[in-house]
Amino acid sequence: MDLEIECPDEPLHVWRVGFSPELWAWTPWTFAGDDGLFSGRWDDQLGEFRTIYTAESLLGCFLELLALFRPSPELVAGLDQIIDDDGSIGSYPEAPQCAIGYSWLEDRRYGSARQSGKYCYVTHSRSIAALSIHYPFDRHDISLADVDTALLKDARDRVLTRSIARWLYDLHEETAGEPVVDGVRFNSRHGDEIRVWAVFQRADDLAVSPRIQPVMEPLSVPPDLPELQEAFARFGLQWHEG
């Protein structure tokens, strides 16, 4: 198969936010969903290998993690329509909108590493062209006319992106038999300037990917960490004592 997938040759100094005791270890299978799959966009649709996600900046890590806490205008509008006839709602106050409890910080760590390997820049024009020719989009009832960067950045159809991840994982060089890519390089949905990577686990990998070489001891995440505060500000979030 003659593929022209774009894999930028670039020095990679990456960041990750995870949990102790091993920040860079593969997430235990016990944290997969009931279907045996992880929820990341570039995880394996067959549930046979794991990934870890890294970003080029610590801010990028927090933006990816905290996006799910952003307020939903529809939910806020619905709550505003509730009439507290008997005062019961006021008797049991809940956390304010966009509030995150300090428990979110428990056992959470951050650190940086040197990352090696070949990563498919999935929204590069060359990669999109290769996918259009070789990937079976018809299995997803997707017309080739609809294959573009917007489709690949859409977080709603994770069956598609996880299936593409599996397809990329299975690609091997015809002569040496080596994997074509070590993962996926993509732009964050929260800013095209933020580069993010999904590193694939291979069968002979140990607890930590050989493509990751930590350059610092993991540190606890304090609530006043500047990058965390910046992510809170961008999403309109706040800490809650309750």
Q: What is the H or E stretch that residue 232 is in?
A: helix 226-235
pLDDT tens track for 50-103: 999 999 999 999 999 999 998 765 444 444 444 545 554 454 445 556 789 999
Quick one: 167 exposed, middle or buried, by C-beta within 10 A (0-12, 13-18, 19+)? middle
Rounded to 10°, the helix 58-66/226-235 angle is 40
User: Is the Cβ–Cβ distance between 168 and 120 less than 8 Å?
Assistant: yes
If DSSP codes are grouped into helix, strand and coil, which group holds residue 79? helix
pLDDT tens track for 139-180: 999 999 999 999 999 988 999 999 999 999 999 998 888 999
User: Is the Cβ–Cβ distance between 112 and 15 less than 8 Å?
Assistant: yes
* CA separation, residue 9 to residues 52, 101, 117, 120 (Å): 20, 41, 9, 11
pLDDT tens track for 106-127: 999 999 999 999 999 999 999 9
- The residues spanned by each domain of the chain are 13-70+96-240
pLDDT tens track for 200-238: 999 999 999 999 999 999 999 999 999 999 999 999 999
**pTM of the predicted structure, to 2 decimals:** 0.88
User: Is the Cβ–Cβ distance between 76 and 128 less than 8 Å?
Assistant: no
